[in-house]
Structure 1
Amino acid sequence: MTQENLLYEDWLIAIRERDDKGAFGKLYHHFWDGLYGHALLRTRDAQQAEDIVQELFIQFWEKRDRLDSQMTLPGYLYGMLKYKIVDFFNSNKIKPQLLDFWAEDLYVFVQQHPEELETYRALEELLSQELDRMPTNMKQAILLKWDEFSIRDIATRLGLSEQTVKNNISEGSKRLKHALLSRGIDRYSTMMVLFALQSLTTAGI
C-alpha cells in the first residue's frame, strides 16, 4: 500500500470512528481543487460547481459511519461527483447560455467518436418531433431563447407578455426534458440534443 493510500486510510478511520473534524478538514482541502475543477469543466458554472462539491462533502460527512477504510478514496469521491453532475444535468438548474460550451464539447466528442453520429441524428429527429408537437408560440419562444434573444425581445417579436413567454419556455423545456429522460438519454446524448437544438435554431425552424 502506498504512503498516500495509508494516509487516506488514516483519515477514513479517524472520520468514521472518532468523528474527527480535523481529519475531515485535511481530506476536504486535499481533494477540493480536483473535484471543483472537474465539476467546473462539466457545468461551466463556478457557483454551481462549488455548490455541487460542497453538497458532496456534506453528504460524505453525514455518511461517515458507513465508510470503508479500505476503499479507494479518490474513486469513491469522484464517483459521488459523477452522479451529482448527472443530477445537475437532469435538473432544472441548467442555464441556456451553457449551450455554446456544451456544443463545443459535443463537436470534439463526435469528432473523436464518429460511431455516435447515428445516435446524434436519431436525437436530432427526436428533438424536431417534440418541438413540432408544441403550440407555435411555445416552439418559437424556445428557439428564440436558444438563439440568445432576451425575454423582452421574444415578447415583442411574438406579441406576447413577458410572463407568457417565460411560461412557454418553462413548459416547453419540461416537455423536452421529459422526452429525453423517458428514453434514458445519457449525459453525452443530452449534449447532442442541446447541440441539435442549436442547429435547428440556426436553420430557422
Structure 2
Amino acid sequence: MDQDYATYDDDKLLSLLIDRDNRAFSEIYNRYWPLLYKHALRMLKEGNESEDVVQEVFTKLWQKAPQLPSDTSIGAYLYVSTRNAILNFFSKNQVHHAYLTDLGQFLDQAQEITDHLIRGRILTKLIEEEIEKLPPRMREVFELKRKQNLSYKEIAGIMDISELTVKTQMNKAISTLRTKFGSHLPSFFISL
C-alpha cells in the first residue's frame, strides 16, 4: 500500500530521510522549498542566487541526512542552513568584489606604469637619435658631460679646448634638444 507522505509530520519524515527515503526527501523539499526561497529572496534580492542558495541547502541536507540526530527539528535545521548559506554567499561575494576591485586597480596602475615606461623608452630613443645628429665636437662634449658626468674642466682637459668652449658647446647642444623636444626633454638633459 502506497503511503501519502504529505500526511506525515516532520519527525516521521526526518526518520525516513535518515534512512535515505527519497520520497521523504521529496516531501520535505516540497514542504519547505517555497518558504526557504522566499526568505533567501528577501535577503539576496535576486531570484537565481536565491534558488542556488536553497538548492545548496537541500543538497547538503541529503548528503548529511544519515548523520542528523533523530531529534532534529527539520524546519529549524533548514532555516539555519539557509541563513548560513546566505551569509556565506555574502562573504564570498564581498571577498570576490574586493578582489576584483583590487585587481582592477592593480591593472590600471600596471597599465599606467607600462605606458609611462614605453613613452619613456621612446622618448629616450628619440633623444639619443637627436644627440647622434649633433655636430661631432658638440656631441662629444654633451656625452662626456651627461653620460660620463665629467666637469667642464675635465672635459676641457680631455678635448684640449677651453672651459668656455665646453660650456658654449653644451649650451648649444641643450638648446638644440630643447627646440626639438620642448617640455618633453627630461630635466636630466637640461640642468647644467
Report the TM-score range of the alignment, normalised by the length of the smaller protein: 0.3 to 0.5
Normalised by the size of structure 1, how large is the TM-score?
Answer: 0.43
Larger Rg: 2
Normalised by the size of structure 2, how large is the TM-score?
Answer: 0.46
